[in-house]
Structure 1
């Protein structure tokens, strides 16, 4: 017969360690977070009305009010042209809402009316100004016709005709109308080749060049102010020819004719 200390058959033993209890004052693990309350129907209506009112006010401020209207136009970057001429050619809609000004239309209008302009950037300067940043074309050569001079830029574009030749810009003399190069390359390509030669000229030489005489694509001659001539040849190897020419003009100051058409074998004569 079992004594009092004998364990009852089938009874579970209690754990040896202390029993854990859930932390007091905190949320039990695994419990869902409390859901945020969605605004009711009335709240949604109020928010929608406020959004519509703010949007309408913004549209009115930009297009209907007198706060943000075009009052002045400013032009910068001019050299030959005047800022007043650029502003006048822009024909901006004064007193119109600044937000409604078509900047692309203003740009296209300026480029069409002022061929001297190479590029135009039109920006709104809030609250009342339209800014025109222009870049003018730079003449590389001149073409003389009927006593006036057509300016030609680095892209071969004839952009303006002036009564007086600008200083430091060589005159282009197109000769040899029956040259095979005219039929093969065309006048426009010969013009671009001449412009490329003018751009390759070193600064120390360019200021003394009075004319470029073009007989054919491979026969371009420079005429200097002191009567000397330089046989340049074609437009190819322009950088090498420029270096050789600058060195020859410095070394052979008495030479009347310099030939750099083949830069690896230059020649001088008439000294």
Structure 2
């Protein structure tokens, strides 16, 4: 009777020596995974407890920076930061939303966690470029045309916005086409383009229509500006015109390539 082959002897030896090598390898990998999982659990639990369960990293105070007209107390009150809660769970987006909704004077705010116990509120307030008189009060308008606050005293150095929008003729057509909000933004664009020296002397920006915007200076001089288009060119033309005709009372830069002055 022929003896067993080498292959058969190898199979019998493998059977007698235990599970196949591939199975043992899979079991070893599984043990490693289980051990690593247990290590992560034991390491992760203290970390989670530190951030959420301990008293070490909780919101205890709120700092405010960047305010000019608003007070830090007003900002803290509107922010309504949940003091005593884990710092990591404080909803910074919700705080920003509350601040912008409650205090329209705020243009932007950066809400940051200041570890280990603080929340920082970095505020940027809107700056008025025009004011609108309403009764005995004054409504502040920023450089985007947003009416953001009503104050009892007009801020110094800010021109008045006077809307004299006719309901008939070409001015009425302009109002229907662009709307009052757009015309206010046009006035803001003019106020931003006026040369600094002239801006300091500007008492009012008057709007009759889209291309019917003019300036009234504090000494009674007037400037016909037109629309807000080509603002830089109009500013250069006005500066040159005022130097060339220092005694003039009326200036027209609505067509900046052909400026004109009159009066004395």
| Fold in common (TM above 0.5) | yes
CA, structure 1 residues 176+45, in 2 after alignment: closer, same or farther (shift >3 Å)? closer
Mapped pair 1:112 → 2:101: yes
Partner of 2:211 in structure 1?
A: 218
**How much does 1:215 deviate?**
1.1
CA RMSD of aligned residues (A): 1.7
Closer, same or farther in 2 for the Cα pair 1:43/1:260, shift >3 Å? closer
Distance in 1 (alpha carbons) for counterparts of 2:177 and 2:30: 81
The alpha-carbon distance between structure 1 residues 218 and 53, as it changes in their structure 2 partners (threshold 3 A), is: same
Does 1:265 pair with 2:258? yes
Question: Which of 236, 239, 244 in structure 2 is aligned with 1:243?
Answer: 236
- What corresponds to 2:126 in structure 1? 137
What does residue 49 of structure 2 align with? 60
1:142-195 Cα deviation digits (max 9, x unpaired): 111111111111111100000111111110111133222212221111111101
Map 1:191-230; keep pairs closer than 5 Å: 191-230=184-223
| Aligned residue-pair number | 235
Larger-gyration structure (1/2): 1
* Cα distance change on mapping 1:43 and 1:234 into 2, 3 Å: closer
Find the residue that maps to 2:208 and give its secondary structure: strand
Instruction: Give the 3-state SS of the residue equivalent to 2:183 in structure 1.
Output: helix
Aligned-partner SS, 2:189: helix
Unaligned runs of 5+ in 2: 1-26
> How big is the shift at 1:43?
6.2
Match of 2:150 in 1: 161
More helix by share: 2
In structure 1, how many angstroms separate the alpha carbons of the residues matched to 2:202 and 2:243?
15
* 1:74 pairs with one of 50, 63, 69: 63
Bigger Cα displacement from structure 2, 151-160 vs 48-57: 48-57
Query: What residue ranges of structure 1 are gaps of 5+ in the alignment?
Result: 1-37
Please give the secondary structure, in 2, of the residue aligned with 1:51. Answer: helix
* TM value normalised by structure 1: 0.82
Equivalent residue for 1:83, pick from 72, 88, 93: 72
Question: What residue is the counterpart of 1:19 in the other structure?
Answer: none
